[in-house]
Each structure stands twice: as C-alpha cells, then as structure tokens.
Amino acid sequence: MEPQPPKPVERHGIRRGIYILPSLFTVGTLVCGYYAILSTLRAGQFLAAADLIMRGIAPDASSYYAQAALALDNAARAIGWAIVFDGLDGRIARMTNTASPFGRELDSLADVIAFGVAPAVLAYAWGVRGLAELAGAPHLQNIRNLAWILSFAYVICGAARLARFNVDAVKPTSDRRFFVGMPIPAGAGFVAGVVHFYKQPLSNWQSSLAWLLIIGVLGYLMVSRMRYWSFKTLNLQKRRSYLGIIVIGLIIGGIWFYSEPVLLTLGVTYALSGIILRMIPKFRPRPPAPEEVHAA
C-alpha cells in the first residue's frame, strides 16, 4: 500500500489573525480618542489652577498655562493619530478581504468617541475659556449655555453623519468618489489642526464666540448634502501614479517638519472643498436657450 501524501496544513490561526487586524486599528482609533479626552480634562485642571493663581490665591501661573497648552496639544495629536488609524483599518480590511458587519459597527462606535466626543470636549476646553472675561456680564450664563449646546450639537451631527454613511454605504448606487456631507474625521481634523497650530487656549470672548460659530458650521457641514472627495478611487498603480506618490510624499514631509501650518491648511482646505464644489455649478455659464421657431 502506497503511503498517502501529507495533508496540507490549514492555517486557521493566520487567517484569524488577518481577520482581527482591521479591528486592532479600530481599537487604536478608540484608544486615541480616549486619550484625547483624558488629556483635555488634564488641561482643564491646569487652567483652573492657573485661574486661581491669577486671582492672587497662589503664585506663578505661567507654568500651569504651559502645561495646559501641552496637554491640549497632546489631545490634538491623539486625534490626528486616530485619523491615521481610522484610515488604515478600512483599507486593510479591503486589501485582506476581511471586512465584516462587526468591524463596520465597531468602527462607527469608535468614530463617535474619537471624532465626535473627543473633538467636542477639546473645542469646548480650548475655545470657551475666553468667556471668563465676561464674569460681570449679565448674559455670561447664556453664552456658556450656547457653548455647551453647540459643542453637543457637533457630537449629535457627527453621530447622524456616521449613521447616514452606514446606510448609504450598502446602496449599490452610491458614488464612491464622494462622501455626502463632510466626514466626521475631517471635522475632528479641523478642530485638532486649529488647536495644534495655536496651542494656547483662546483668551478673549470675541475669539471664543467666533470659535463657537465655527463649531456650529462644522456640525452643519457633516449633516449637509454637500459632496466631499472620498479619495477611495485613488489608484497608485496607474501609469501616472508617480504624480500622486510625489504629492503624498510632499505632504508627509511637510507634516513631519512643519506640522502646525500644514495640518491647519489641510483641515481648512478640505472643510471648504465641499462648499466650493457646491458653488461651482452656480458660477458656470449656462448654455444659451434654444431659439424659438415662430410659425410663418
């Protein structure tokens, strides 16, 4: 009796590891969002201590302001890393053919925390402190309530944006070139880019009110019907893909050496791109109407 050839070894462990890999990046997004919230709360503690010092209760407030700015910057950086992890998990899932309903739901829940709650808390802690100048104003409490409402509205709009994306993503007629409404990571990137650029919290009530208006606009852009480029159809395997590689390389180099202005420019540019795409058809010249033919 001839010996039977050995059976191929089934590598269930490797397959299972590949299946879990996208979820690990999603967990990385969640960890970054949680760290951003904790870092923002720590900055709030430093700012509270600095306020007591400024009132003469304790000496030397400069060190507390510096530590608060560092904590706020760390929160902004954590949101930036969360955006990187969020971009990798979906791409890896598609490359390894391991996308699943569980991974999609886990990704949405992580996005609510990392790109909804964390930026809203950061925006409130960084931008509303200037309202302390209105301590003697009769409408101070109303303005603080407005700050609370707008920052919370950002979270609600972000959650609604994610829910709509999950519904539209399964439609066969969806256009993969565009997102409908600004993606919630882009809104979080805008907030993180501004905080990372300025670092020091706003110190006057005019800037704080302008910042609250911006937060309200970001929430509106997320639930609007404006189209934003998704970059999902970007294919670096085409003949002219070297142009895209050069642009990506320049952006990475710019972020490495000049992260503050580059990230701020990217965040502002992408946020405005949807508005620009919406306005372009209105400024295009319309074709002349066909001439009417009158009967003789």
pLDDT tens, residue by residue, 105-133: 888 899 999 999 999 999 999 998 767 66
Q: Render pLDDT for 44-98 as a digit per residue (tens, 0 to 9).
A: 888 877 776 666 555 566 777 888 899 999 999 999 999 999 888 877 877 777 7
Enclosing domain of residue 138: 13-282
Q: Does residue 75 lie in a domain region?
A: yes
Q: Does residue 291 lie in a domain region?
A: no
Range of lowest pLDDT (14-28, 141-155, 180-194, 213-227) = 14-28
The top-scoring range by mean pLDDT among 18-27, 56-65, 160-169, 184-193 is 184-193
Split at pLDDT 50, 70, 90, the class of 140 is low
Range of lowest pLDDT (106-110, 196-200, 263-267, 283-287) = 283-287
Q: Does residue 65 lie in a domain region?
A: yes
- The pLDDT of residue 260 is above 80: yes
pTM of structure: 0.82
Q: Render pLDDT for 199-251 as a digit per residue (tens, 0 to 9).
A: 999 888 888 889 999 999 999 999 999 999 887 766 656 665 677 778 888 98
Q: Does residue 290 lie in a domain region?
A: no
pLDDT for the residue 156: 95
Q: Does residue 100 lie in a domain region?
A: yes
The top-scoring range by mean pLDDT among 35-49, 86-100, 173-187, 257-271 is 257-271
Q: Does residue 227 lie in a domain region?
A: yes
pLDDT for the residue 16: 54
pLDDT for the residue 92: 81
Q: How many domains does the chain have?
A: 1
pLDDT for the residue 136: 59
Q: Does residue 2 lie in a domain region?
A: no
Q: Does residue 7 lie in a domain region?
A: no
DSSP secondary structure, the chain, as one string = -PPPPPPPPP-HHHHHHHHHHHHHHHHHHHHHHHHHHHHHHHHHHHHHHHHHHHTTSSS--HHHHHHHHHHHHHHHHHHHHHHHHHHHHHHHHHHTT---HHHHHHHHHHHIIIIIIHHHHHHHHHHSGGGGGGTT-TTHHHHHHHHHHHHHHHHHHHHHHHHHHHHHHT-TT--TTEEES--HHHHHHHHHHHHHHH-SPP-SHHHHHHHHHHHHHHHHHHHS--EEE--TT--TTSTTHHHHHHHHHHHHHHHHH-HHHHHHHHHHHHHHHHHHHHHHHHHSPPPPPPPP----
